Each structure stands twice: as structure tokens, then as C-alpha cells.
Chain A
């Protein structure tokens, strides 16, 4: 691939990032709500499944936009939410911390 073509691809990816950023932020917001619900011991089964699905989707897409660390964090969240039961409320702070890192990575993509 010529440098000019690579530049064109990167520019097109930036356009797609801007287009899909609201969807990506919506998924992060869902994870923030799930972490808060877990800490308060009121995470329902539906909330947990929705959080697992949101984390799965973020894991799949963030690295595609160059955010490899975001994929690693999202995979960790997916694993934590994908058990048969809700994560222990004691994990709430950990879930919130990972989600905050994820939020920062998404917000700071250049």
C-alpha cells in the first residue's frame, strides 16, 4: 500500500470513528451504569447480560480503530460480566476503574 493510500484509509477511518463515536460512548455508558449497579448490589441478570454484550462489542471494535488497550480492557469486562451470576459487589470498584480507563481511551483517541 502506498503512503498516500494509507493516509486515505486513516482519514476514512477517522470519519467512521466520528460517525460511530455516539454508539461507542453509549456502550461505555451502559458499562458505567452496570459497574455502579454492581457496587450497589442491584445488578439484574438483564443488566449483566447487556453489560457483557456491550463489552464484547467494544472488544471487537476498539482495536480496529487502533485502540488495542481498549480491546484488552473490554475483554476483561466481558469476562467479569459473563459468569452465571452477577459479579460480587466487592468487584464494583474494580469494574468502575476499568470502565473509567475505557472511557478515557475512547475520549482521547486522536
Chain B
């Protein structure tokens, strides 16, 4: 089944590789945004099935973007997964405590990223 997913990341290389991976391997429809503010606008406009959200972004970071998404009735129910290169367990716990669907890690394997997301979200 095809899904629609929004990737929010300020790093263009990560954004493009993740998008390529989800489109090529899983055949999902992908939307890209390069900042928290742009991501929120895209989420309202496109109503994706899920959002992959980078943690460290200039301006509005991932956790702040997540809170905005949760606080807006138009996006409050969309599952959000954080994507981070932080490996320290204190960071991981802090992110998980926000109430996101999952915390995924960079670097990811482009071959298996969609499987990982599908497993987290219970998608077939």
C-alpha cells in the first residue's frame, strides 16, 4: 500500500537520500521541507500519513516543531518520528519523552528505512 510521508530536515543531502529511499524502495509519495515552519505548512496542506522530523535544525528545532504540530488540530493526529544523529542515551530518552511515535537514527540504511518506519507505524 502506498503511503504519503513528509520529511522535514534542514540538511539537503539527508532530505534527498531519505526521500529517494522511501520513493524507490517503498514506492511512497514523499514531500520535503527544509525547516520547521515550512514543514508545518506542508503538513497542514498535504495531510501526510506520517512525518519524519529532524531534531537539530536552526530556528525552530525538531522538538519545537513537534509541539507546534501537536498543538494544531489540523496536524495533531499525524504520527511524527524524530530523526537524529545524537547517540547519547540522555538525548534519546529526552526525545522519546516528547511523545513521538519513534526516534530513528542517522545514519540510516536507505535500503531498510521504509521497513523501519512501517514497523513503527504498524503499516503492512
Main secondary structure of the interface of A (DSSP, over half): helix
Determine if B41 is an interface residue (Cβ-Cβ < 8 Å).
no
Interface flag for B14 (CB, 8 Å): yes
**Which chain A residue lies CB-closest to B54?**
A60
List, in ascending order, chain B residues with CB within 8 A of A68's CB.
Answer: 107
B1 at interface (Cβ–Cβ under 8 A)?
no
Q: What band does the interface of chain A fall in when counting residues whose beta carbon is under 8 Å from B? A: 20 to 34
Residue B13 interfacial (CB < 8 Å): yes
Residues on the B chain within 8 Å of A8, using CB: 24
B56 at the interface (CB under 8 A from A): yes
Whether B108 pairs with A56 at a CB distance below 8 angstroms is no
State the CA gap A8–B14 with chains docked (Å).
Answer: 18
On whether the beta carbons of B56 and A56 are closer than 8 Å, the reply is yes
Are B25 and A61 closer than 8 Å at their CB atoms?
A: no
Q: How large is the interface on B (under 10, 10 to 19, 20 to 34, 35 or more residues)?
A: 10 to 19
Q: B38 CB to closest chain A CB, in angstroms?
A: 19
Contact A56 B17 (CB under 8 A): no
Give bound CA distance, A62 to B107, whole Å. 7
A6 an interface residue at 8 Å Cβ cutoff? yes
CA distance A63 to B25 in the complex (A): 18
The distance in angstroms between the C-alpha atoms of A71 and B86, with both chains bound, is 12
Contacts of B110 in A (CB 8 A): 9, 13, 64
A61 to B11: give the CA distance in the assembly, Å.
Answer: 9
Complex Cα spacing A17 to B14, Å: 11
Check B120 for interface membership: any CB of A closer than 8 A: no
Residues in A whose Cβ lies below 8 Å from that of B64: none
Query: Top 6 closest A-B pairs, CB basis?
Result: A63-B107, A60-B106, A60-B85, A64-B107, A20-B13, A9-B24
Other A-B pairs, 6, CB within 8 Å; known A59-B107, A60-B106, A64-B17: A1-B25, A1-B111, A5-B25, A12-B20, A16-B16, A64-B110
